[in-house]
Amino acid sequence: MARKQERSLLTEVELEFMTVVWDIGGGTVRDILAELNKAQTRAYTSVATVLKIMEQKGFLTSERHDRSLVYRPAVPKEEYQRTTLKDLSSKLFDGAPAALVARLVDDEEVTDDMLESMRALLNERLGDNGR
């Protein structure tokens, strides 16, 4: 049996697969393939291989149902988001979350409505709902 590798960050392709698994809650290779093929045609064997690698990395679990493996997320989406943002903040923004937020706020594609939503989230977190 293959030994589990220490969990790292997902590659771009793995993240695409993981997003499907999170969205559908899990499924067989065929279930996941059907969802992935809505955006881009992929081969069954390629999908099966990537899912097996993701299981070895600890991102997925599998159990046999009839003649098929059913893959399920081993890592909740929110946990992966938190880990990824911490890694991004550490590597690209010298561990300063404020620098990450500042870059995001400076983005011209962020609308005033988005900024208001961010303000509301910050006020809620800080307990400043009256401001």
Could you read off the pLDDT of 29-78 as tens digits, one per residue? 999 999 999 999 999 999 999 999 999 999 999 999 999 999 999 999 99
Convert 7-19 to b/e letters by CB count within 10 Å (16 or more is b): eeebeeebeebbe
| pLDDT of res. 95 | 85
Q: Could you give the CA distance from residue 45 to residue 108 in angstroms, rounded to a whole number?
A: 42
What does the radius of gyration of the chain's CA atoms come to, in whole angstroms?
19
pTM of the model as a whole: 0.79
Backbone phi, psi, residue 61, to 5° = -120, 160
Q: pLDDT (tens digit, 9 = 90+) per residue, 95-127?
A: 888 888 888 888 888 899 998 998 999 899 998
Q: State the pLDDT at residue 6.
A: 52
Asked whether 10 and 62 are in contact (CB, 8 A), the reply is: no
Assign a CATH topology to domain 12-73.
Arc Repressor Mutant, subunit A (1.10.10)
Instruction: Calculate the CA 103 to chain-centre distance.
Output: 21
With vertex at residue 8, the alpha carbon angle to CA 99 and CA 15, rounded to the nearest 5 degrees, is: 80
